[in-house]
Amino acid sequence: MLSRGHKPLMSESEFVSINPASGNELARHPALSPAETQEKILCCHQAFLKWQKSSAQDRASALLAIATQLEGDREQLACLITQEMGKPLRESRSELDKCAWVCRHFAAMGQQYLHEDGIELDQSRADVIASPLGVIFAVMPWNFPFWQVFRALAPALMVGNTLVLKGASNVPGCSQAIETLVRQAGLPDHVVCNLAIRAANTEKVIANPLVRGVTLTGSEAAGRAVAALAGSHLKKCVLELGGQDPYIILDDADIALASQKCVQSRMLCSGQVCIAAKRLIVVESVYDAFRSAVLQRLESVHSGDPMDEQCSLGPLARRDLRDQVHRQVQASLGKGCELIQGGMIPDQPGWWYPATVLDNVQPGSVVFDDEVFGPVVSLVRAKDETEAIALANMSRFGLGAAIFSANRSRALALASQQLQAGSIAINDFVKSDPRVPFGGCKDSGFGRELGKLGIHEFVNFKSIVMAD
């Protein structure tokens, strides 16, 4: 057991799981050596040579088997997620349900998404055929240690690719559990391989000629590094990076609905969500009413043991992440922002941070300019709709956004013509859906996951022309 404030003893040869609710050690997992890593990639490639020849029906059946395995192991895996990264148990269950959904979706729709198109030419015909690329390297985060993996895994396997996974270092148990689960579902060995490696070792994986694509969900810094490496080796990559997501509350918004959705979004996973409602940009005429409604909503947010069914706000995933959020809040207070709730590190074991509200947030403050990965609500005042849109777009990020308005046509016009984001919700919070392409623009990355566009990312489209 670890005492509060002490880091676990570890080496490059192992990963240590820490319960963020207590700071206590859960388990140790061996790291792969460079030789073992390359051997796993080779095994994954050899599995690909066989997997690519399987029929679409067989791949769909395999995804359905994975979904069934997920549902059968739901409680055990949900406990693992909560223990390793701290989100409330009910959220962990929902995450696994979504993983099963994405598997079932691509099992049902994969063939249609990959349908061969025929093009009639002058004296010939061209067929466009979708073929798999090979081994895909997935570099995945800790905040959704199953969902982020499965939204890459399901379309990759349906296409006929195989997957090597580098999960985050603080959720090694989850990453290994995914490899085990796929094998238990009856899929061939090495179709999905867990690479228990450090971030510093990803370059050698990307450089391996057997790896044909890279998908990453993570920080802006990680995205830049991986994109540079993938580019230098001419590997296709998809990047889903950070967001500083604006949620705009217009003068005709339903305040009760808007406050409910914004608080729900911001507190999900203790605020550690890239598409959470981070900057709440509120038109002047409804600002005070909205602020009061938000504060009232936050009264029902309860922190506590994340294994407790009543818990709605768990700890942050690591101490360094908690401390960073606190530094961001404190730095913003020096830029004119007003603290009206929270903002203090509690004196208790674990990596806890309270639901925090900052008022009168201005451009130039950290909580306006940079992504804050914690339960921090930033209230931004706008004179009118025009200024609200300008403030929303005043960011290097472009991942998610939302508009709350009673006028759906007005909101749709603003979303389609003016807001700079990849995913936009109207009168709701942003969430990923297996049926809908997901991704960002600007410094939030490029490429798309999910839906038809997502399954097309790691495909070789062959144009085959046959003369009459």
Q: What is the pTM of this model?
A: 0.95
372-387: average pLDDT: 98
Is residue 394 scored above 90 in pLDDT? yes
* Residue among 262, 269, 274, 337 flagged as catalytic: 274
Q: Domain coordinates of the chain in residue numbers?
A: 14-241+444-467, 246-433
Which whole-number Å values give the CA distances from 23 to 12, 319, 323, 402, in the listed order?
20, 8, 14, 36
In tens, the pLDDT along 429-458 reads 999 999 999 999 999 999 999 999 999 999
| CB-based contacts of 16, cutoff 8 Å, min separation 6 | 8, 10, 25, 27, 28, 29
- 240 has catalytic annotation: yes
Is residue 6 scored above 60 in pLDDT? no
Give the chain's mean pLDDT. Answer: 96
89-103: average pLDDT: 98
| CB-based contacts of 290, cutoff 8 Å, min separation 6 | 249, 253, 255, 258, 259, 280, 282, 379
Contact call for residues 14 and 26 (beta carbons, < 8 A): no
210-225: average pLDDT: 97
Which whole-number Å values give the CA distances from 122 to 116, 127, 465, 466, in the listed order?
19, 14, 11, 11
Is residue 118 scored above 50 in pLDDT? yes
pLDDT recorded at residue 11: 63
314-325: average pLDDT: 98
State how far the Cα of 174 lies from the Cα of 183, in Å rounded to an integer: 14
Beta bridge partners of 131: 460
In tens, the pLDDT along 331-344 reads 999 888 999 999 99
List the alpha helices (DSSP H) in 334-460: 366-369, 385-393, 408-417, 451-455
| CB-based contacts of 201, cutoff 8 Å, min separation 6 | 34, 37
State how far the Cα of 236 lies from the Cα of 234, in Å rounded to an integer: 7
170-177: average pLDDT: 98
214-225: average pLDDT: 96
Architecture of domain 14-241+444-467: 3-Layer(aba) Sandwich (3.40)
* Residue among 91, 179, 240, 385 flagged as catalytic: 240
pLDDT recorded at residue 8: 47
pLDDT recorded at residue 134: 98
- 36 has catalytic annotation: no
Q: Name the E strands within 252-337.
A: 279-283
pLDDT recorded at residue 117: 77
> What CATH class has 246-433?
alpha beta
State how far the Cα of 389 lies from the Cα of 368, in Å rounded to an integer: 14
188-192: average pLDDT: 98
